[in-house]
Structure 1
Amino acid sequence: MKKIICFAMFLALSLPPLGACALTLAVEDAWEPYANPDGTGMSVEIVTAAFKSVGVEVVLEVLPYARVLHEVKSGKYVGGFNVAREASREDDFLWGREMLFLAHAHYYHHKSSPLRAQDPRSLQDGERVGVIRGYEYGNLFHDHEGIVRVWANRHDQIIDMLRLGRVQAVIMFEKTAGLYLREMHLEDEIQAAFPSEPSRIFVAFSKRRPEVPHYLELLDEGLRRIKADGTYQAILDKY
């Protein structure tokens, strides 16, 4: 499929599109079920439905998360997702008013060796926490100087670390944890201990592309439309 980025599609949001145009966005490849390796997933459905509602076809480039960030920041792509909007990268990208969704996360522990902590602040110095390289977990996690962060590339890897006792906890987003623990038959062994900070998930837009303000406005409008007509909630309910 020929990928075309259109620089002019509407005279105004209320007018119909001028021709068939496509916007190429980068999406991460391993945050199931939000974004799957085959380019499907909850956030993919939200983004494509929002843009479709304002007449924009989306073409996806599925990439590792670190590449999504790098190549959007460099201007290779107009935008990419799923990016947590946090202070550490607020100035790296342009952001719309409408977030895609709020992703809830927990610290998980093994029932044979439960954490003594009741919240992120009370984790003990030296406790090892498994996390995914490049992901954002909030200020409470990043500012805790006593814990040992053990980074991995995939969720099954940090789950295995926990199962084998190599870490005392892992942080996973709820829907991801539910999917992996079911597939790995570990629902009875690995359980949520307490909440981590939720993440506000956005499409991050490049500061290096002149057409970005146009697409920012269209995405915000599209998200408002699908929230108003029930499409957004129907997508959430599937997952």
Structure 2
Amino acid sequence: MSSTYQKNVLFDCILLPKYSGLSIHYLFLILMTIVSFLSIHNTVAQPLSITLAAEDSWPPFADEFGRGISHNIIRHAFEQVDVNISTIVVPYARGLIMTERGSVDGVFNVTREQSTIDRFVFGNEPLFTITASFFFAKDYPTVAKNKWQLPTQSTIGIINGYEYGDEFTTLVEKRKLQVITVDSQRQLTNLLLVGRIDSAIMYDLVADVYIKRMGVNNDIQAKFNNHTSKIFVAFSKLNPQSKHLSELLDKGLIALKKQGKYQQLLLPLND
């Protein structure tokens, strides 16, 4: 409705009683109807806006500059359902805490497993699926063929706050593993290179980025799988709209797949 039309309607309503004898009560009803219509119209026109925490050190999915595969997929999926998003780039563990406290609406990239299901709201459609492996330095090889054959009391490096599958706790207990927790992929890689840990669990595509950046392609290799993760946006349980937001994201992801755009967004340099 144009502003000129609105003004004309109001003007006519104000002058109308002078010439037709309409009651003040009738004029009041007309004005209230117009105000209600404009209010509803403006409310419907306003898109939903949310804020998500994005981790700062998980390339090619999310980096310190707020870029990556996850950013692209989430932004395009929410665009399909008219939701505007803004992101706050923080360390992963902090993003989880911010979401639990309701400081942001959600956080990515989170594995949906029992430990996270208890803390967050998830949709049904993952952003993508990724594998994590046990990496070893070539100077410190292993004879194990799978994770259940790891020597007892082996020292394993992981990242603070990351999820490593529902079997990880059982694995640690059965093999009596010593777990060392650090804050970054680079720290994990360095500990592996100098023999401070026997192995590191790293997500394969993320490890590839850091190993290449550090120029140690010939010094570290993945030996066997730890787990396969379906990666999601985790929404805050303190936000009453979280279930709705997860459903909207599902709808957007499904739309991208039907349109044939989803596979393109999985490419690291695609925007």
Preserved contact between residue 133 and residue 203 of structure 2 (Cα < 8 Å): yes
- In the alignment, which residue of structure 2 is the partner of 1:64? 91
Q: How far is 1:85 from its partner? A: 0.8
- In the alignment, which residue of structure 2 is the partner of 1:95? 122
- In the alignment, which residue of structure 2 is the partner of 1:86? 113
Report the Cα distance in structure 2 between the residues aligned to 1:187 and 1:79, rounded to whole angstroms.
35
Gaps in structure 1 of 5+ consecutive residues? 1-10, 12-16
Gaps in structure 2 of 5+ consecutive residues? 1-39
Preserved contact between residue 57 and residue 91 of structure 2 (Cα < 8 Å): yes
Q: How far is 1:189 from its partner? A: 1.0
Name which of 7, 13, 22 aligns with 2:49: 22
Q: How far is 1:176 from its partner? A: 0.7
Q: How far is 1:141 from its partner? A: 2.5
- SS for the counterpart of 2:61 is coil
Is 2:194 aligned against 1:164?
yes
- SS for the counterpart of 1:192 is strand
Report the Cα distance in structure 1 between the residues aligned to 2:161 and 2:46, rounded to whole angstroms.
38
Is 2:159 aligned against 1:132?
yes
Larger Rg over CA atoms: 2
Preserved contact between residue 27 and residue 80 of structure 1 (Cα < 8 Å): yes
Q: If each structure's helix is expressed as a fraction of its own residues, which one has the higher value?
A: 2
- In the alignment, which residue of structure 1 is the partner of 2:168? 141
RMSD: 1.6
Matches within 5 A, 1:211-230: 211-230=241-260
- Counting aligned pairs with the same residue, the percent is 38
- SS for the counterpart of 1:71 is helix
- In the alignment, which residue of structure 2 is the partner of 1:184? 214
Preserved contact between residue 120 and residue 141 of structure 1 (Cα < 8 Å): no
Structure 1 length as normaliser, TM-score?
0.89
The alignment covers a number of residue pairs equal to 224
Name which of 203, 212, 216 aligns with 1:173: 203
Name which of 57, 60, 76 aligns with 2:103: 76
Alignment deviations for residues 82-101 of structure 1 (CA, whole Å, 9 cap, x no partner): 11111112121111111111
Alignment deviations for residues 158-191 of structure 1 (CA, whole Å, 9 cap, x no partner): 1001100111111111111111111111111101
Q: In structure 2, what residue type is equivalent to 1:183?
A: R
Alignment deviations for residues 106-150 of structure 1 (CA, whole Å, 9 cap, x no partner): 111111221111111111111111111111111333222211111
Q: How far is 1:21 from its partner? A: 4.4
Q: How far is 1:22 from its partner? A: 2.5
Preserved contact between residue 156 and residue 198 of structure 2 (Cα < 8 Å): yes
Report the Cα distance in structure 2 between the residues aligned to 1:118 and 1:83, rounded to whole angstroms.
28
Report the Cα distance in structure 2 between the residues aligned to 1:71 and 1:238, rounded to whole angstroms.
27
Alignment deviations for residues 3-23 of structure 1 (CA, whole Å, 9 cap, x no partner): xxxxxxxx9xxxxx7234432
Structure 2 length as normaliser, TM-score?
0.79
Is 2:263 aligned against 1:233?
yes
